[in-house]
Structure formats: C-alpha cells, structure tokens
Amino acid sequence: MIRRWIESGAPGLPAATEATQPGPDHWAFVPPERIEPPAVAQEQVRNDVDRFIVAELQRRDAKLAPEAAPLTLVRRVSLDLTGLAPTPEEIATFLADTAPDAYERMVERYLASPRYGERWGQHWLDAAGYADSNGYFNADTDRPLAYRYRDYVIAAFNADKPFDQFLREQIAGDELAGLQPGGDVTPDMVERLVATHYLRNAPDGTGESDGNPDEQRADRFTVLEGTVQILGSSLLGMTVQCARCHDHKFEPLTQREYYQLQTIFWPAYCPDDWRKPNERTVSVAHASQRQEHADLVKHLDDQIKERREKLAQQAKELRKRLADERLAGLEPALRGELEHALKLRKSVRSDPQKVIVKAHEDATELAEDALAEKFPDYAELREQTNQQIEALEGQRPAPLEELAVLCDVQSTPPPHHLLVRGDYRALGSEVAPGVPAVMSDADRQYQVEPARTPAAGRRTALAAWLTNPRHPLVARVTVNRLWQNHFGRGLVASADNFGYTGVPPTHPELLDYLAVEFIRSGWSTKALHRLILNSATYRQSSVTNEAIHQADPDNLWLARFPMLRLDAEEIRDAMLRASGELDLRAGGPYVPTRRAESGEVVVADGAEGALRRSIYLQRRRTQPDSMLDVFDVPQGSNNCTRRNSSTIALQSLSLMNSDFVNARAESFAARLDRVCGDDTAAKVQEAFLLAYSRPPSGDEAAAAQQFLAQQPQNYQGHPDAQSRVWRDFCHMLLASSAFLYVE
C-alpha cells in the first residue's frame, strides 16, 4: 500500500516545489516592508485599509457593501471593543451626535472605556494560555496568585502599553527589574515581575506528580515544552513543537534549534533543580524586611507552641488521673488490656481491642471541657493560655505581598542537550541558547549581553530579538490576530501557523502594511484598532445578496461584514447587562466556581461576585463554567490562538433550561417593570433596546403583542401570571439569534 501510494505521487502531502519550498524566500520569513496602498476609485474608501480590500474586490468585479445603519454600528463597535452591548444612554449619545466625525468619536469613547482592557485582555489571555489552575489530570490544583497576571494584562491594554514593551516584560521582566536571588523586591518591580507569569501559563502538575523519578522528570520537561509551544504559537506563528523529536518535516526548523529555544528557559526550568508551582513566588519587601518578618513570625509561633505544649502536658496528666479514677473499679486483667489497647494507634488495634476501647470511651475519651469542669486549676490555666495566644496572634504581622513569577533558579545551570527522539533519558549533543536561523540575519541576531552569571540575560536577549522591528513574524502574527478578532477570520486563517503548511494570506500586502504601521505607531494596539474600525471595510453592512454571494461566497475578500456569534463570555455578560445586574467591579482574585448536584460547573447566584464579568470567573482547566463551556470557551489544556464557534443542540438546551439564563430572564422582566411600569408598548420597546440595541421592527412588535396576549392562557389560575408572561418574553429575547449574533 505504501509503495502504491508513493508511486501515485504521495497524494495528501504538500507539494514541495522550488517556488514554495520553505526557507528565507518564504513570505513569512522575510521582514515586512511598507507597501504603498494601491490606487483605487475613491468611492467608499475611507483609509488605506480600504484601498487594499477594494483592490482585491475589483479584481473579482465586486465592491464593498453599503455602510451599516447607525444602530448596527454602535452595537458592533461596543461589543467588539468592550465585549458589552451599548447602554441606552450610549446609543442615545451616538444618535444625537450630528458632527461629521460622530462615528470616530464613538470609537474613541469605547477605546477609552476600562471595559476595553477586559475585552482585549481576554484575547491575549487566550493566546497566552492563562488559567487559574495547574492542570495535571483531575488534581488540577489552584493557582491562587495567577489573577495578578490577568489584571496586569487588562491594565496594559487599557493603558495602550506599547506592545514591544508588553512582550519584553512578560519574557524577561525579572531580568529587566534586576531581581536577584534573595534580593530586594520593591514596589516599582512588581509590574514587571507579575508580567513573567506569561512563562508560567503552561500546565504544571509537578506539585502533584508522585510517580517514579522518570515520570517526575517527564512531567518537568512537559512544562518546558508547553512554555516553548505557547511562545511559538502566540508570537512566532510556528508549530515549533513538531521539532521536539526530529527536524520539522515541513518547516525550516531543526531539532537542534528547538532545543536551543528550550535552553533559553533552562536556568528557570532545569529539571535537575526544580521548583514546584507554589515555590515559584517572591515576597514584595526588602531582604532585611523579609528577614525581620520571618523572625517575628517564628518568634510568635514558638511562643504559641510553648504555651500550647504546656497546656497539653497538664491536660495529659489530668486526663490520666481522671481516667484512673473512673477505671479504678475494673478488674486488673481487663484494665491491663484496655491500657495496652489505648497505647496503640487506632489503625492497628485488633477487633477485640476496639470493642474494649469503645465500651469504656466515656472514661478514656476525656474532652478538655470535662477536665476544666473537674479541675478548676486547669480551667484557669486554659483560660490564661487562650488569652495569651490571642494576644500573641494580635501581634502577628500581615502577610507580605506575594507574587507568582518566573525567574532563574540557577546562576550556573548544567548544560542542556538535544534529546534523541524527544526521549528525556537519551541525551544527544549539548546545545547553547539560540533561535531559529530562518528568522535571523545580521540585523536581528539573538545575542546575550555579557553578564555576571552564565544564565542571566538569556530571556532579555530573546525579548530583544522578538521585538526587533525587522523580525519577520511577531508584528505579522499580532496584527493578524487583532484582525481575526475584529472579522472572525485572520488575513492568515491559520493564526498559529504562518509556515509552509499554513494557509496563505488572503491579502498579503495589507498584512505587511498593517505590521509596518503597527511598529511605526510605537507598537500601539489602539492605533491599529482606529485604523481598522474607521475603515469603510469595517463599517459596511453584513446584509448579503446574490451578487455579493456570487463574487465572494465565503466572504474571504470581505464584500460584506461577516455576521459573528458572540463568544461565550460575551453571551453571559450580555445577559447580565440586559437584566441590569452586571457587576462591573474590576480586578482581584477570581470568583470561584463549583460543581453542582446536577453535574454542572456553576457560580452560585448570591455568591460574592457571582454577577461579575466572565473574565473574573475561575478558569479551572478541568472544570470550566458549564455555560461558557457549551459556547466554546477554550479548553485549558493549552493556549488558544483562535476560538471555534460551533452550533450544537446543547447550546439551545442550555439557553432554555439553564438556571442562570432563567434567573436573568426574571431579573430582565423586573427591570422592565421598574423602568416602564404597566405600559406594555413601552416595555416591548425597552426590552428590544436592552437586548438588541435597537427598537423592534413592525413585524417584531406585532409578534410581541400577539405573544403577550396569548401567553397568559398558559398560566390561568396563577396569581403571578403576568410576571411569568414577561419572564417568558424576556427569556425568548435572550435565547434568540438576534441576541446571540452581531451584524
């Protein structure tokens, strides 16, 4: 079979021709150059983005669709930039603005919103593989400090931190801050140290790994491999992990180069000198302050221990004395057997011994209260001891601020080796830290500056190499992911694979233009948003017709705006926004989820923070919130550079039966009562505005009136019939396609 397959031309393998063979001439490995936008007719063109799009459409005898209606645009922009539907007040402000730049000013308002960082921070957290747990099968233990990284990312996007600085801090923040083992950690270092959690986002079950030494070593290498994989997919657009066992079959990446990348992280992730996840922390304080804090805590603990031991010794003596009194009437033989049994651990007592102990537990199992009642001196000592311990606890200093960080654990790590066939036990030749040659040239070399120790500076050099303006991939990958999150599909559809096996870009000139403009803007993400959102391409209608369908059936060339389903977090947050319950408190520890009796993973209504935005819910790898899970929230086993958008029956069932959705419908109906009273027509108008950001059409208003007239028949005899009818009406809106999709 193999012979026949080869003789037939090996169908299914990519054709390796001279023109497409990967290497320095492959488009993705050539630094992007600024391209002059093509000259096109000015009709519909608002900026340079449109010139590239219109030029491609003209080649297909097509053109941009007309501009979408104002109500469509304000909902689109609000959801796109903040992840939330616009409020009625925001809609009214936009509609009342008659200035020529009303749309552009609306865009600026949403870019300035603190909600912007929550929305676009989530996109980066997906790519970075963020989670609030360590992974490793069902153990999946907690990462209680990971939320600091999530808050760092949100703040960075809100502040429009230059993206090159954003990357340098995440890859080498500890080195940039000058962190030394056991040295000072000052408040001005915190932000850069928190940023290094990017390199700790890979699953790490080494705190629970309890197998044999080979298994433990494999688990440690898995963390290192996951870190390199996240770097490769989120920044390089390369399937680097394919080179772990052999030279990459299709891409210009050798196995040696893969292990050179690993070697960059070797001082922090050396399996021979490992730190478990909960050991990779630092306290924010000067070294002397940490020592003083530790000394005081130890002194207090010793004092408390001394008092408890003194009380316990007194109790032991009195307990024996009281037991002797109560057992005095026992026959010597039975008493001897009982005393012998009491000296044994419960787990090793024989069945007869357990029977004897059970029969006399009133005499032998003497609680402290019984001793205090029998012996006044003991009662007084216990009271004094408790008061002393309480006073000592009052002197206990507040815990020092803790940060989960990635930093080197060895100043002189042992050499790393290429692993033959990826086997941790089969060491090949020694490798030095380095990067793929195909992404390097004389202007962009990986070079570690002379440092005090052999390990220091490896990640700083990596950060400098990645953020070099002439790097062929980082800016391209980043602007492509941003375009993807605006239009549902990147200019390169394979967001984590720009190599030979990836999907070629639909608009390669536009991709390079955006990459260069991104760098020229000072790596400003918000500047890139402005360029895209202010284009006619983004502002066009999503309505299609036969001519558009014939010219661009898959909308690859953007002859219309794609209709997009809200993602999982947007759906949950939009329901809370419509019901008027959304809690906009920002930052801080996650809101815990739990597994309910039904088997669902939920946040209990009424729990502290239960109505906060979804980005603040616990993101546990093995137990995602069930509603978010059914709407395609990324699985936590790895990072996610592009979300799926499936359509399955469980989604409709969840919308109909979920306790969360039913509770939101009830609150939504109560909100209409508060705002509109008993005015049915006004309530219908308000409901559509809150759910769809627009008033109902004539047909929708008629259908609503018909429903409201007929539905009470299903609740005859119920005193709260009208409340149930309006709850059902609101439930219908929340479960509708118009609510779930953005035009």
pLDDT by residue (tens digit) across 154-172?
Answer: 999 999 999 999 999 999 9
Whether the CB-CB separation of 284 and 400 falls below 8 Å is answered with: yes
348 falls in which pLDDT band (50, 70, 90)? confident
Distance CA 451, CA 589 (A): 37
122 falls within a domain: no
Judged by DSSP in three states, 720 sits in coil
Question: Domain limits at 542?
Answer: 48-117+475-509+519-563
Helices (H), 265-407: 287-326, 332-343, 351-359, 361-364, 368-374, 376-394
9 falls within a domain: no
Q: Which of 400, 433, 452 finishes a domain?
A: 400
Range 528-533 average pLDDT = 98
434-446 burial, b for 16+ CB within 10 Å, e for fewer?
A: bbbbbbbeeebeb
Distance CA 490, CA 484 (A): 4
User: What percentage of the chain exceeds 70 in pLDDT?
Assistant: 95
Quick one: how many helices (H) and strands (E) in the chain? Answer: 31, 8
Distance CA 371, CA 379 (A): 8
Judged by DSSP in three states, 414 sits in coil
DSSP 422: G
Give the model's pLDDT for residue 365.
Answer: 64
Give the model's pLDDT for residue 452.
Answer: 60
617 falls within a domain: yes
Across the chain, mean pLDDT equals 92
523 and 584 fall within a common domain: no
Structural domain count, the chain: 4
224 and 181 fall within a common domain: yes
CA distances from 150 to 121, 194, 198, 462 (A): 8, 9, 10, 23
Radius of gyration of the chain (CA): 32
Give the model's pLDDT for residue 504.
Answer: 95
Give the model's pLDDT for residue 379.
Answer: 87
Question: How many Å separate Cα 580 from the centre of its chain?
Answer: 26
Give the model's pLDDT for residue 551.
Answer: 84
Give the model's pLDDT for residue 455.
Answer: 66
Judged by DSSP in three states, 617 sits in strand
Give the model's pLDDT for residue 17.
Answer: 39
575 and 723 fall within a common domain: yes
601 and 495 fall within a common domain: no
- 283: phi then psi, degrees, rounded to nearest 5: -100, 140
Distance CA 29, CA 96 (A): 49
What's the sign of the alpha-carbon dihedral 596, 598, 600, 603? Answer: negative
The answer on pLDDT for 361 being more than 80 is no
Q: Contacts by 420-429 with C-beta closer than 8 Å and gap 24+?
A: 421/245, 421/246, 422/244, 422/245, 424/214, 424/217, 424/218, 424/221, 424/271, 425/214, 429/256
CA distances from 654 to 572, 631, 646, 657, 659 (A): 12, 9, 14, 5, 9
Give the model's pLDDT for residue 21.
Answer: 41
10 falls within a domain: no
Range 278-291 average pLDDT = 93
388 and 433 fall within a common domain: no
Range 575-597 average pLDDT = 96
Structure tokens that stand for 219 in this block: 């688990």
Give the model's pLDDT for residue 18.
Answer: 37
19 falls in which pLDDT band (50, 70, 90)? very low
570 and 623 fall within a common domain: yes
193 and 330 fall within a common domain: no
How many residues are present in the chain? 743
20 falls within a domain: no
Q: Which residue has the higher pLDDT, 535 or 337?
A: 535
309 and 260 fall within a common domain: no
Whether the CB-CB separation of 24 and 30 falls below 8 Å is answered with: yes
357 falls within a domain: yes
CA distances from 234 to 241, 332, 361, 497, 505 (A): 13, 78, 64, 10, 17
| Half-sphere CA count of 565, side-chain side, radius 13 A | 17
